[in-house]
Amino acid sequence: MQQYRYVRWFFLALGLVAVLGLTGMNVYSLYALHENKVQNYVENQKQQMLEYTNQVRTRFRYPVRHLWQLDMEQVKSSLQSPEMVCKNLTAIVDEAVQDGLFSEIYLSTADCEACDHFGAPLWKYHASEGRFSETTNYNQLVSDGLGITQTRMNALIQDYRWSTRVIFDTQNSMTVALINSANKEIVGYLLFVIDRDYLVNSYMAPKLVDTFGRGSESGIIIWLHDWTKNEVLATTHPDAPYSYQNVDFIQNFPDLLNDWNLKAAFTANPDIAASRASLTRNLAVLAGAMILLLGAFAFMFLIAQRERSLAQRQSLFLANVTHELKTPLSVILAAGENLSDGRVTDVNRLKSYGSHIYNESLRLGHMIDRLLDVAKSDNHNAGLQKKETDLVPFLRNYLEKKHDYLESHDVNVHLQTDEPVPDILVDQSDLHSILDNLIDNAIKYSPKGKKIELRIYRTDQLVSLEVSDYGIGIPKEFHKLIFNKFFRVEDALTAHTKGHGLGLSIVKDLVTRNGGEIAVESTKGKGSAFTVKFSSVHVFGNGNTDSQKKSKQQETEHASK
């Protein structure tokens, strides 16, 4: 039997591990699916930011896209004076100057003096005239842009294979180096001054909104940021203040606008919010399913344990009852055998044998009554015959019949009644069994010279019967368990008291099937009080008044006298 117990525990543990393992895998899968969706969204946004910077780069290069097609030998020979610049180069520059992205365009030969010192002559393009002319009226940024380009090209020229190279001086200018790749020779420099206002307000800011959306509804906030000045140039969400702590990703511009970059903060995108809500719902359903499954496991296991315990108690009860039935039967059998043989002729011995047979027969009948009570309580409403019962005379009649039994156990019973008490609707046989069990318990668990108090009183529409003793009492933690079948409070005070743990369970079942309630108040070492409550008859529509009840009771007492 013990090995089966271990098998049950093993399979319970195995089932719990399986449930928890599957639940854990599902939770991991749900989170992984959500995180994958979030990651895909973030990666898509990062890719969009990279595409945006490439589009800005292309926007700068578009006006000068045909420069690489020029014959650099021809360009070199035409750079003798501003008036001699070849028409092909002039046509490209004329197209570029029409673009609002550039405010001014300058041309310099390879030996660019303006690269070395500010104020040296340069050739400036005049769109209205369609030609270059020499000028010294330019700002320091132009000279710086040319100087940066010359320095870098001097380092690159020997390994460079193309005819043009674009170099940016941050957001100030774009310079195109014109190169004769065959001779590894720099022909000249074409510098475009960038119109910052047009670049930011007319191109980059609108394009940010077109690409990423406006406000936080898009799930991302983009700032075009000048990190050297800590200045926000444009944003998709003007109401969101910029803070470096809120930045989730930074994208730089390739080969241009070195002082600027895009900074992004990822917010609650509608798709991500929907995914998060779906995750929450799925986790809630999964948690509910797991709780139900674990509850079912626990319920089945507890039921199995309870059934096992109940079966053991029933087996022990059957063995005890069999033993207790055999004892009076053996006494009756032995006494009857002696009497039937005629060996007993003495009057006193005959009386003694008769007394033994009578007492053991009573004991046997008492045990049979208990077994019948068990069967009756298990059958609920089967055989229920309710009658209107006046509890006061019924209880007095009951005590009169039990007088000899109570006297033989040295019991003093005190009855207290609140009169008049309404009738109750109850099966009188059940009521008799309820009193038997409560009084027998009070006798068993009380010391010698036992005192039992019975009290009948009414509360609103209820009639209460209270049975109190001054015995060993019941610990508070067992008050809810004593009405369970086969349960006994096992301690040093009850170890030598016979019982099967059925009396109070029978009482509760009989009270319940008659529509009543039972409660207990007990303190260990001070005694117990069991209160049985039934509805009065007028609740069921009888309609007896208190005056009618009092008159009826007086008639009963007069008849008994």
**Considering 243, 266, 289, which residue would you say is the last residue of a domain?**
266
| Together in a domain, 163 and 137 | yes
Q: Which of 72-81, 279-288, 291-300, 373-382 has the highest mean pLDDT?
A: 72-81
**Considering 224, 247, 266, which residue would you say is the last residue of a domain?**
266
Q: Each residue of 75-106: pLDDT tens digit?
A: 888 888 888 888 889 999 998 888 889 999 99
> Considering the domain boundaries, does residue 4 fall inside one?
no
> Considering the domain boundaries, does residue 22 fall inside one?
no
> Considering the domain boundaries, does residue 487 fall inside one?
yes
Q: Each residue of 376-426: pLDDT tens digit?
A: 655 555 567 888 998 889 998 988 888 877 887 788 888 888 768 888 999
User: What's the total number of domains in the chain?
Assistant: 3
Q: What residues contact residue 424 under an 8 Å CB cut-off, 6+ apart?
A: 388, 389, 391, 463, 534, 535, 536, 537
| Together in a domain, 253 and 108 | no
**The predicted structure's pLDDT at residue 222:** 92
**The predicted structure's pLDDT at residue 501:** 64
* Residue in 473, 465, 468, 474 with CA at minimum distance from that of residue 451: 468
C-beta of residue 453 within 8 angstroms of C-beta of residue 417: no
- Which structural domain range is residue 145 located in? 65-192
| Together in a domain, 145 and 242 | no
| Together in a domain, 427 and 475 | yes
> Considering the domain boundaries, does residue 338 fall inside one?
no
| Together in a domain, 438 and 543 | yes
**The predicted structure's pLDDT at residue 367:** 64
| Together in a domain, 405 and 525 | yes
**The predicted structure's pLDDT at residue 448:** 66
Mean pLDDT across the stretch 510-530? 87
> Considering the domain boundaries, does residue 110 fall inside one?
yes
Q: Would you say the pTM of this structure is higher than 0.75?
A: no
Round to whole Å and give the CA distance between 507 and 520: 12
Round to whole Å and give the CA distance between 115 and 161: 23
Q: Each residue of 5-29: pLDDT tens digit?
A: 667 677 777 877 887 888 888 888 8
CATH label of the domain that carries residue 524: 3.30.565.10
Q: Are strands 131-135 and 122-126 parallel, antiparallel or unpaired?
A: antiparallel
CATH label of the domain that carries residue 119: 3.30.450
| Together in a domain, 99 and 156 | yes
| Together in a domain, 90 and 220 | no
* Residue in 49, 90, 66 with CA at minimum distance from that of residue 236: 49
| Together in a domain, 258 and 114 | no
Q: Each residue of 226-273: pLDDT tens digit?
A: 999 999 999 999 888 898 888 889 999 988 888 999 999 888 766 666
> Considering the domain boundaries, does residue 253 fall inside one?
yes
> Considering the domain boundaries, does residue 355 fall inside one?
no
Q: Each residue of 182-238: pLDDT tens digit?
A: 888 999 999 999 999 999 999 999 999 998 888 766 788 999 999 999 999 999 998
| Together in a domain, 155 and 233 | no
> Considering the domain boundaries, does residue 136 fall inside one?
yes
| Together in a domain, 179 and 228 | no
| Together in a domain, 393 and 505 | yes
**Considering 192, 220, 246, which residue would you say is the last residue of a domain?**
192
